[in-house]
Amino acid sequence: MFRDYGDNVRIVGIADHSGCVEDPDGLNSMEMIRLVTEGLSICHFNEHLLGESGKAFGVQNDEGMRMRNTLHNRIPADAFVPAGGRPSTINMSNWKNFLREDGTPSSPLIVEGANLFITEGARRKLFENGVTIIKDSSANKCGVITSSYEICAAMLLDEDEFVENKVTFYIILLSI
């Protein structure tokens, strides 16, 4: 996205197993690329590169866990792209949390890059409340292709060759 759209792209929040970072002014793109290149989780984000309103939370305590788990509900964005996570993260018991106090969604568009992130019932409710959802079966084709590519590589190469080239496989796929 940064390569093709430059300053027109602003990523305002990222969460993973280790925590989350958020900044309404946009996260530093070079720092995000560094984390991907080095295979590091979001808890390694250099907090000095956050803007004045930026925050980082680790999951070592209850507040950090809560902030990570509610990032997609709290941070307004043009698009929300769950690219991993637990199945049924948004479900019938919590879909309303995706709506702000005025009833508008925190994001009007969800591109479901993670399998089964939203349950079918929650998907219907969000749609009824103004959210356009590009379903996982359409949006996550690249994830399926990536997994298949990695499986084929693992079957064709011996273990040492696979480990030696694994980072290259990911960089190639991220460049698509």
- pLDDT at residue 32, rounded to an integer: 92
Read off the pTM: 0.76
State mean pLDDT over 79-97. 90
Check: CB of residue 81 under 8 Å from CB of residue 14. Answer: no
Quick one: which of 95, 81, 155 has its CA closest to 128? Answer: 95
The more confidently predicted of residues 76 and 2 is: 76
Residue 141 — very low, low, confident or very high, per pLDDT cuts 50/70/90?
low
Residue 57 — very low, low, confident or very high, per pLDDT cuts 50/70/90?
very high
| DSSP letter, residue 54 | -
**Helix, strand, coil percent values for the chain (each to nearest 5):** 50, 15, 40
- pLDDT at residue 149, rounded to an integer: 66
State mean pLDDT over 78-107. 92
Check: CB of residue 115 under 8 Å from CB of residue 136. Answer: yes
Is the pLDDT confidence value at 137 over 70? Answer: no
Question: How does pLDDT run across 20-48, given as a tens digit for each residue?
Answer: 999 999 999 999 999 999 999 999 999 99
- DSSP of 83-119, one letter per residue? -S--TTSB-TTTGGGGB-TTS-BS-SEEE--STT-B-
User: Where in the chain are the domains?
Assistant: 1-75, 141-174
